Chains A and B, each alone.
Chain A
Amino acid sequence: MKALLFVGAAAFGWAFPAAGQTMSHDHHGDMPMAAPSSPASPAAAAPDSDNAKAEGQDAAMSPNGGQHSGHDIHMSPIGDPHAGHHPPAPQADPHAGHPMPADSRPEAAAGTDLAAGDAPAPTPQPGLAASRFWGAEAMMAASHHLRHHHGGMTFRQVMLNLAEVQLRRGKDGYRWDGEAWIGGDIHRLTLKSEGEGTFGGRTETAEVQALYSRAIDPYWNLQAGVRHDIRPGPSRTYATMGIEGLAPYWFQVEGAVFLSSQGDVLARAEAFYDQRLTQNLVLQPRAEANFAAQTVRETGIGAGLSDLELGIRLRYERRREFAPYIGVSWERRLGETARIARTRGEETGGFSFVAGVRTWF
């Protein structure tokens, strides 16, 4: 009956932790009678394996240690970790004076078995306690330094995703596509550049972008800034806005729109995927498409989908920072852009074998 009462009381304590806190002390006298199934006593559900494992292990303990296997010892004052730390009102072990056999289960809730109350948290105070000892100025400077070095540091990276020669019928060419960034986790300055040309000829396309990049969620960055096309001439400058990031299924995706100083609107979408064949061999399929809202005769761009590139590259990533690759790339000018190219007697695209290095530092 007493046990039943305690279970009820404990359940009450569970529901009203603040009340249970005081009650558990009131019920000390009942504790030996408490049912192991008391809901306030998770210990009752503790696996027996503890004790099973402990059995026969006393060999490892000195005779002295044997004394400790009872629960009635008291902490020596020297061993009290709260010495000098304003210990709370003496609560000691509620089981003090209740010797328990080593293999018995705790008979009632105590210590961490007790439910927590819902007292309010204190208010944070300004300043560091150590200022009393080392001076406020020194501590403030050290605190600033500490915070900067735990989450506020600046990093940088330069990466050439593509740096390759392109072997094809007609004139062999080259191509690059890379970016560099500097900044923290959220705000970065990003520079991008890409372009291509033919050996012995001139650089056909070359552009640079300077962007402010801001992390907007775990995977995506919003980027805005300026793009400048050095080639093809005449050079153009665009305002640009785009996103880049990691899409589900590990696709690296990039998209941007560009508004030129002449009022022309262009857009670009890029995606690639790293398929690991082995730990060192990575197959990277890649696609890039450019669009234009209008035809721009000077630069030979026609309205609509202006060109498309599909490529697949196999790289050897023995060293992450320097990974040589080979692959195939198919580029094609399309629609109005292709028509303009043909009227100028230019190629409209085709296959290339590519070989290059993906490198970063």
Chain B
Amino acid sequence: MIASIDRRAFLRGATLGSGGLALAGALPAWALPGSAGIAEGLPVLSGEDITLRIARTTMRIDGRPMHAVAVNGTVPAPLIRLREGQQVRLRVMNELDEESSIHWHGLLLPFQMDGVPGVSFPGIAPRATFTYAFPIVQAGTYWYHSHSGFQEQDGLYGPIVIDPAGADPVLSDREHVIVLSDHSRLSGRAIFTRLKQQPGYFNRQRQTLAGLLAGQDQRAGDRRKWGAMRMDPTDIADVTGATYRYLVNGHGPQDNWTALFRPGERVRLRIINASAMTTFNLRIPGLPMTVVQADGLNVRPVEVDEFQFGPAETYDVIVVPREDRAYTLVGESVDRSGMARATLAPRPGMSAAVPPLRRRPIATMTDMGMGGMDHGAMDHGAMAGMDHAMRAFSNAPTVRKGPGVQTIAPMPIDRTGAPGQGLDDAGHRVLTYRDLVALEPNPDARAPSRQLEIHLTGNMERYMWAFDGEKLSEVTAPIPFRAGERVRVTLVNDTMMGHPIHLHGHFFELVTGHGAHSPRKHTVLVQPGGKVSWDVTANEGDWAFHCHMLYHMAAGMMQVVQVRGGADAA
């Protein structure tokens, strides 16, 4: 904890020196500080036969040793670079003393190769080897990670880049893979245990009496109202900079991982949120970013100054740094408790000013699912009534009533046109989901034959999370689909936290008003108190469907989507 304070004080300072470039043996060459990027032909794993070895290791972050689970000795795991149209065989050797697995996040593949123990295969036993084999039918930026225990938190994640079979519509002179993640001195298991014992354990930005006297955060009246509802408006992130180091390609803020460019070059950044629990706000002060790809699929170019993305989402952006100077890449945690930091520079060893962390947001009535209500008009008596209205199961008949459901959003709203929690007043252009338009027409533009509403539910006081109030451990049947059928799924977030929801084995088209050019994603961040609709064409198999916040998933926020073909499914 002392370390985290040191770092925060350090980060709040306006400028950083070049930092100790601690070279660590546990890093792949492409992730070493001063890397010139993968466009320079740095070592990666390619070809049709790839071997990955999962084992424990010690990595150095900002000069401090940390325990980790690594692939081929590195965290992040090696970059797997493939070409659309090829076949690949991935031999995965598990040298851990526990079961392991690798899921190929965003790849369209036969369900039995998807890598989720208990859904798509039995898992890889300790000291055993499993060979995945499947064709590569797509291009873009993806990633891979463990789907066993808490190994993803402990370091088992890495990037995948698939080059298109033909010419890439995205032109760049150079590219860098930017893997953002979170790492703690505590093991994933220890973090989860603490969250279960005391859900606010990692929140070191609570509202205080000192803050009230200093005029910070909510006024006394609002604090009383939120207290009456037993809702903490500072509960923005469950696991925070109090324990996390936020990493870029396995490096802490002081390590200052550096991506090189020549002034005037078009630089493609393939940015992957491979964190276990962290929604990042990403920006490069002084350098606009043109988003060209979302979740691996091309979108019409859209220029922004910042974007928010949840765990498992990816964005490819083009930047054109024209000046011969360094730029800081800032990946700020959504609760502003820390940041991932890297540098874009013409030469190694340079650094630019690091902006201080901005003030953390306070959850609003909209975040509580009262998007349509007039906040000002609510007096104290109305709030007392609100306490009941906030858990009216008549608003969500499919949700199972129980201790795991703290609130039902009375008026959830579509927030896909908003920039994400805490960024409404960022003062510059922030990407929204509505800004995304698929570059190519959607492969299936039929109207959905039916629709389905799924509620994202939780109880922050007990650290319980689920779909429709039922943890995976309690669910008795999968969510059934017919192969090839088109279904509109609406996710309603009844909780006060964002949930990045991932459906394995599919891309779904966001219903954001773009018709047959809807953006296609594998993971969508459903904002607090918000709702998101998407259309999906079901691919045969059993597929994991879950929140990509690792501890939400572990708490039960996961189900299995069962897609069966033929008449027998009817």
Contacts and interface: CB of A to CB of B under 8 A. Distances in A.
A62 B121 contact: no
21 contacts: A53-B304, A53-B429, A57-B303, A65-B171, A88-B444, A92-B441, A110-B515, A112-B518, A123-B480, A130-B119, A135-B122, A143-B118, A146-B118, A147-B472, A151-B473, A217-B403, A218-B391, A218-B459, A250-B227, A276-B208, A278-B208
Contact of A68 (B304, B320, B439, B451): B439
A61 B172 CA distance: 8
Contacts of A123: 480, 569-570
Interface in A174-222: 185-186, 215-219
Interface string B450-487: 11100000010110101000011111011111111111
Interface in B500-523: 507, 509-518
Contacts of A71: 441, 517
Interface stretch (A114-122, A232-240, A254-262, A300-308): A114-122
Contacts of A279: 204-206, 208
A140 to B, nearest CB: 9
Interface string A86-107: 1110011111100000000010
Interface of B is mostly: loop
Interface string A56-97: 111111111101110101011011111111111001111110
B473 A47 contact: no
Interface stretch (A38-46, A163-171, A325-333, A334-342): A38-46
A89 B337 CA distance: 50
Contacts of B448: 114, 116-117
B512 A186 contact: no
A121 B137 contact: no
Interface string A296-314: 0000000000000000000
A109 interface: yes
Interface string B526-560: 00000001110101111000000000011110100
Given A117-B448, A120-B450, A121-B480, A81 B137 contact: yes
B137 A79 contact: yes
A225 B58 CA distance: 47
Nearest to A155: B196
Contacts of A155: 193, 196-197
Nearest to B194: A320
B167 A139 contact: no
Contacts of A60: 170-171, 266, 290, 292, 301, 318, 320
Contact of B535 (A46, A112, A129): A112
B360 interface: no
B122 A134 contact: yes
B197 A50 contact: no
A173 interface: no
A122 B564 contact: yes
A138 interface: yes
A157 to B, nearest CB: 5
Given A139-B122, A185-B462, A81 B473 contact: no
B10 interface: no
Contacts of B540: 85-86, 129
A78 B441 contact: no
Contacts of B482: 122
A20 B447 contact: yes
Contacts of A2: none
Contacts of A79: 84, 137-139, 164-165, 440
Pick the 10 closest A-B CB pairs, nearest first: A151-B556, A146-B118, A151-B471, A62-B171, A152-B473, A65-B169, A114-B447, A151-B473, A57-B301, A111-B516
